[in-house]
């Protein structure tokens, strides 16, 4: 009987199987060795703690001045406007912990108590929340977080009229390997803070996020024996060895000290339902290229992946940029065979795959030769072989970050997120409809900071590039001058990229509330009577005027028919004075004032910045793009020197079905950190021909001139949602 082909291949299969076993065994030994080394290096490391909240009170005169500033002649008798930040990280987040290490020439650890003191004395916020990443949150850290938030609220005085309200929460941080498995990041904000009224543990999307792994590499590469590293290595070890909670067990019956995981939004909502405690789930960072794959879209996040009772708000702006605008731009296209192809650049956008080909062509001796053309095509195709998060997709041998110019970026927009993902923008979300009637996102719009140094509300002044933003961290001094694998690894992992230029000072969320209590603020958030700002404390009112004289504020849902009448009132933020109020140094002391506030606080003067104009955006969900999004639908100039702006308008014949409107108030131009992230020099056609990245010299250094540019700071109202019965067009 002749030999079969399978018989010939058996030795090959046996060899391959044996090689695979050997390879796996080798990997197990390497990992085991690395863990033992990590455990050894963690000896003597102290556990991170929550710090101690400053108990000194803010004087009554300062609180009275803040209360007066919350009202305006533009809206006599209206609810007061309170400003807050619902996205703040401390050293209990793995990425925040990494940023504070000496390897980044960081400031050191910032515990939750720092966030409380910063909110009370530096930024003078009315409310804020803590949102450390649940993926590396150890049980003891969650217990300390809850205790620290309660201590902050106790220090803030009378719960009916406190200096600030501190909310408890965490961040659920999910990153999919493809658009279809990607759901992004969400902040969970709880109404209550008592142990019996809050979950026993935060709910994570997985065990670790990417920054924990990068931090582990850094901690191994940096040879310095400082206590910071021993403490961080202990943190890594405890996180690695923490037990994951068993699946299928009711949340109240799970062990207290396990890591609870919900890998998709529907599972997160199920677990929150099981806890039965009032909470909000706020998507954020939707359009960032640093954490979202290039084809990321919200199309698959309606239905079971959306809980309209909890997902009431969307973070339209943070220190990572604006996620407001939808634009018809594509990082890649799919051909008939389902393979990615590189689209040609347009007037407003250049894909980075295309720029890769341009860089290669510029190097060719004969740019139009067949050989050069093959190299160009290979460079474009190679862009899809890389995982296009952050700057990983813009790596080409010999090319600097500046060589990529403004590829992949949203041109001409206000402080845009890096590597913009338009199908995850706020406008795209508001225009989207699901398969079922009424299956839509009806988000209110907020701003926050996403600060990773325990500094809520960093946008009060444009300063502190390396402390009030999350970017521009330099390579450590020793690694610049040293040779060897450790220094090379540090330089590689810490090298500034283009995404470092797209970090800004943080935004704010504002609520219209009858009083300053926790219950009033949370109720305003739930009913979407809120708006976001890019950092300044702009005052904004947006109302639909009923036939009987009733005002329906931003966030309202109602039925009606044309004509629809609206009113917008806006007042610019107070011009900031240099330095800090005298009571801040008295309460904090000069050293803490310098280290925490960097010597600058929210310190408003008597005059306001002028409002330049009011823009109205109208969106008709379910219509085809771009017709569904009318931006701006109306625009109204404002004249004055700071006394505010009032605009009345109507939609005489609104389209039938659902239509929504939101207002955008723009201040007169002022300088901002990162105002022009790439400082592009442009040709007559508007194309970027030379770029200069904004890179900081250090945390306590002045902001370089190249990192400042004029922008129009702004506020975004929550939409008013109208179901039009008749008379539509």
- Per-residue model confidence (pLDDT) at position 76: 80
Is residue 606 pLDDT above 50, yes or no?
yes
- Per-residue model confidence (pLDDT) at position 641: 77
Is residue 474 pLDDT above 70, yes or no?
no
Judge if 265 and 350 occupy the same domain.
no
* Region 283-287 average pLDDT: 93
Phi, psi for residue 533 in degrees, rounded to 5: -130, 165
Judge if 294 and 356 occupy the same domain.
no
Q: How far apart are CA 677 and CA 669, in angstroms?
A: 16
- Per-residue model confidence (pLDDT) at position 562: 80
pLDDT tens by residue, 322-337: 999 999 998 888 888 8
Question: Three-state DSSP class for 292?
Answer: coil
Judge if 521 and 451 occupy the same domain.
yes
Q: How far is CA 58 from CA 121, 163, 388, 579, 619, in A?
A: 8, 7, 47, 17, 44
434 part of a folded domain: yes
Please report how the helices 485-494 and 210-221 are oriented relative to each other, as an axis angle in degrees rounded to 10.
Answer: 150
Backbone dihedral region for residue 619 (phi beyond 0: left; psi -120 to 50: alpha; all else: beta)? beta
Is residue 176 pLDDT above 60, yes or no?
yes
- Per-residue model confidence (pLDDT) at position 386: 52
Judge if 388 and 424 occupy the same domain.
no
Is residue 83 pLDDT above 80, yes or no?
yes
Judge if 322 and 457 occupy the same domain.
yes
Of 371, 404, 437, the residue at which a domain comes to its end is 404
Q: How far apart are CA 509 and CA 82, in angstroms?
A: 8
* Region 162-183 average pLDDT: 93
Q: How far apart are CA 183 and CA 20, in angstroms?
A: 34
Is residue 396 pLDDT above 60, yes or no?
yes
Phi, psi for residue 185 in degrees, rounded to 5: -110, 145
Judge if 227 and 162 occupy the same domain.
yes
- Per-residue model confidence (pLDDT) at position 237: 77
Question: Three-state DSSP class for 438?
Answer: coil
29 part of a folded domain: no
Q: Name the pLDDT band for 227 (thresholds 50, 70, 90).
A: low
Judge if 112 and 253 occupy the same domain.
yes
More confident residue, 243 or 241: 243
Ranges 55-59, 228-232, 422-426, most confident: 422-426
Q: Name the pLDDT band for 12 (thresholds 50, 70, 90).
A: very low
The total of structural domains in the chain comes to 2
pLDDT tens by residue, 262-279: 999 999 999 999 999 999
Judge if 391 and 247 occupy the same domain.
no
Q: How far apart are CA 549 and CA 563, in angstroms?
A: 14
Distance of CA 149 to the CA centre of its chain: 22
Is residue 706 pLDDT above 80, yes or no?
no
User: Cis bond leading into 2, ω under 30°?
Assistant: no
* Region 327-355 average pLDDT: 87
- Per-residue model confidence (pLDDT) at position 497: 74
Query: What contacts 240, CB < 8 A, 6 or more positions away?
Result: 35, 38
Of 516, 537, 558, the residue at which a domain comes to its end is 537
- Per-residue model confidence (pLDDT) at position 225: 57
317 part of a folded domain: yes
133 part of a folded domain: yes
Q: Which two tokens stand for residue 402?
A: 């500046």
- Per-residue model confidence (pLDDT) at position 416: 95
Q: How far is CA 473 from CA 363, 462, 679, in A?
A: 31, 17, 19
Contact 556, 444 (CB under 8 A): no
Phi, psi for residue 551 in degrees, rounded to 5: -105, 125
What number of CA atoms fall less than 13 Å from residue 457's CA on the CB side?
Answer: 31
Judge if 167 and 252 occupy the same domain.
yes
What number of CA atoms fall less than 13 Å from residue 239's CA on the CB side?
Answer: 29
pLDDT tens by residue, 634-688: 999 998 777 899 999 999 999 999 999 999 999 999 999 989 989 999 998 888 9
Which class for 227: exposed (0-12), middle (13-18), buried (19 or more C-beta within 10 A)?
Answer: exposed
What number of CA atoms fall less than 13 Å from residue 60's CA on the CB side?
Answer: 1
681 part of a folded domain: no
Contact 104, 491 (CB under 8 A): no
Judge if 275 and 382 occupy the same domain.
no
Question: Three-state DSSP class for 412?
Answer: coil
Is residue 724 pLDDT above 60, yes or no?
yes
Question: Three-state DSSP class for 596?
Answer: helix
Judge if 390 and 270 occupy the same domain.
no
More confident residue, 240 or 28: 240
Is residue 466 pLDDT above 60, yes or no?
yes
Of 360, 380, 404, the residue at which a domain comes to its end is 404
Judge if 446 and 523 occupy the same domain.
yes
- Per-residue model confidence (pLDDT) at position 643: 82
For 381, the domain range is 333-404
User: Cis bond leading into 626, ω under 30°?
Assistant: yes
- Per-residue model confidence (pLDDT) at position 4: 44
Backbone dihedral region for residue 555 (phi beyond 0: left; psi -120 to 50: alpha; all else: beta)? left
Residue with tokens 């080409």: 396
- Per-residue model confidence (pLDDT) at position 399: 84
Mean of per-residue pLDDT scores for the chain: 87
Q: How far apart are CA 76 and CA 73, in angstroms?
A: 5
Query: What contacts 649, CB < 8 A, 6 or more positions away?
Result: 565, 566, 616, 634, 636
- Domain CATH for 258: 3.20.20.140
For the chain, the maximum distance between any two Cα atoms, rounded to a whole number of angstroms, is 102
The angle at the Cα of 102, spanning 100 to 106, to the nearest 5 degrees, equals 40
Q: Which two tokens stand for residue 527?
A: 């009913």
Q: Which two tokens stand for residue 674?
A: 């990162």
573 part of a folded domain: no
708 part of a folded domain: no
* Region 485-490 average pLDDT: 68
Is residue 9 pLDDT above 50, yes or no?
no
389 part of a folded domain: yes
Distance of CA 726 to the CA centre of its chain: 40
- Per-residue model confidence (pLDDT) at position 10: 44
What does DSSP assign to residue 120?
I
Query: What contacts 636, CB < 8 A, 6 or more positions away?
Result: 568, 613, 614, 615, 616, 645, 647, 649
**Range from 270-284, 298-312, 462-476 carrying the lowest mean pLDDT:** 462-476
Is residue 17 pLDDT above 90, yes or no?
no
């Amino acid at each position: 009987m002749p030999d079969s082909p399978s018989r010939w291949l058996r030795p090959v299969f046996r060899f391959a199987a044996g090689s695979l076993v050997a390879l796996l065994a080798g990997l197990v030994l390497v990992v085991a060795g690395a863990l033992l080394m990590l455990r050894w290096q963690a000896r003597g490391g102290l556990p991170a703690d929550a710090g101690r909240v400053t108990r000194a009170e803010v004087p009554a005169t300062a609180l009275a001045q803040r209360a007066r500033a919350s009202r305006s002649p533009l809206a006599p008798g209206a609810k007061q406007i309170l400003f807050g930040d619902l996205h703040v990280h401390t050293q209990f987040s793995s990425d925040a912990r990494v940023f504070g290490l000496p390897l980044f020439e960081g400031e050191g650890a910032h515990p939750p108590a720092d966030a409380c003191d910063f909110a009370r004395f530096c930024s003078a916020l009315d409310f804020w929340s803590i949102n450390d990443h649940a993926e590396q949150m150890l049980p003891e850290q969650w217990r300390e977080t809850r205790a620290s938030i309660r201590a902050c609220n106790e220090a803030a005085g009378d719960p009916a009229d406190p200096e600030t309200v501190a909310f408890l929460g965490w961040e659920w941080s999910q990153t999919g390997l493809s658009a279809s498995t990607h759901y992004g990041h969400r902040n969970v904000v709880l109404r209550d803070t008592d142990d019996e009224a809050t979950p026993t543990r935060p709910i994570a999307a997985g065990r670790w996020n990417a920054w924990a792994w990068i931090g582990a590499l850094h901690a191994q590469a940096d040879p310095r024996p400082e206590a910071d590293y021993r403490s961080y290595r202990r943190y890594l070890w405890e996180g690695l060895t923490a037990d994951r909670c068993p699946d299928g067990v009711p949340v109240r019956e799970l062990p207290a000290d396990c890591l609870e995981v919900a890998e998709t939004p529907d599972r997160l909502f199920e677990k929150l339902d099981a806890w039965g405690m009032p909470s909000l789930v706020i998507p954020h960072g939707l359009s960032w290229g640093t954490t979202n794959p290039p084809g990321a879209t919200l199309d698959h996040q309606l239905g079971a992946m959306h809980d309209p009772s909890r997902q009431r708000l969307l973070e339209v702006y943070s220190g990572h940029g604006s996620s407001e605008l939808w634009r018809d731009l594509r990082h890649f296209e799919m051909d008939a065979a389902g393979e990615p192809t590189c689209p040609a650049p347009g007037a407003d956008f250049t894909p980075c795959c295309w720029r890769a080909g341009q860089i290669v062509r510029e190097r060719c001796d004969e740019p139009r030769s067949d050989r050069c053309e093959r190299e160009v095509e290979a460079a474009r195709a190679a862009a899809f072989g890389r995982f296009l998060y952050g700057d990983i997709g813009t790596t080409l041998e010999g090319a600097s970050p500046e060589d990529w110019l403004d590829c992949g970026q949203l041109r001409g927009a206000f402080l845009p997120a890096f590597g913009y993902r338009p199908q995850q923008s706020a406008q795209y979300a508001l225009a989207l409809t699901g398969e079922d009637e009424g299956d839509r996102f009806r988000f209110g719009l907020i701003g926050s900071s996403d600060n990773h140094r325990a500094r809520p509300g960093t946008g009060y002044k444009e300063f502190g590039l390396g402390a009030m933003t999350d970017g521009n961290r330099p390579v450590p001094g020793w690694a610049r001058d040293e040779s060897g694998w450790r220094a090379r690894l540090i330089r590689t992992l810490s090298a500034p990229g283009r995404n470092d230029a797209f970090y800004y000072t943080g935004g704010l969320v504002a609520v219209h509330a009858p009083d300053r209590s926790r219950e009033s603020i949370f109720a305003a958030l739930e009913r979407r009577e809120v708006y976001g700002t890019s950092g300044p404390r702009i005052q904004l009112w947006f109302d639909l005027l009923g036939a009987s004289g009733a005002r329906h504020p931003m966030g309202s849902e109602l039925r009606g028919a044309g004509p629809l009448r609206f009113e917008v009132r806006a007042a610019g933020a107070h011009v900031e004075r240099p330095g800090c109020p005298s009571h801040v140094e008295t309460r904090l002391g000069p050293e803490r004032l310098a280290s925490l506030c960097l010597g600058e606080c929210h310190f408003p003067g008597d005059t306001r910045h002028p409002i330049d104009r009011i823009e109205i955006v109208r969106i008709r969900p379910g219509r085809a793009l771009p017709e569904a999004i009318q931006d701006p639908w109306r625009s109204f100039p404002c004249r004055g020197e700071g006394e505010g702006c009032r605009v009345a308008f109507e939609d005489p014949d609104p389209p039938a079905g659902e239509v929504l409107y939101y207002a955008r108030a723009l201040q007169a131009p002022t300088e901002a950190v990162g105002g022009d992230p790439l400082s592009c020099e442009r040709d007559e056609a508007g194309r970027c021909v030379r770029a200069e990245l904004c890179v900081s010299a250090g945390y306590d250094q002045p902001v370089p001139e190249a990192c400042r540019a004029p922008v129009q700071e702004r506020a975004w109202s929550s939409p008013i949602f109208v179901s039009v019965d008749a008379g539509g067009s």
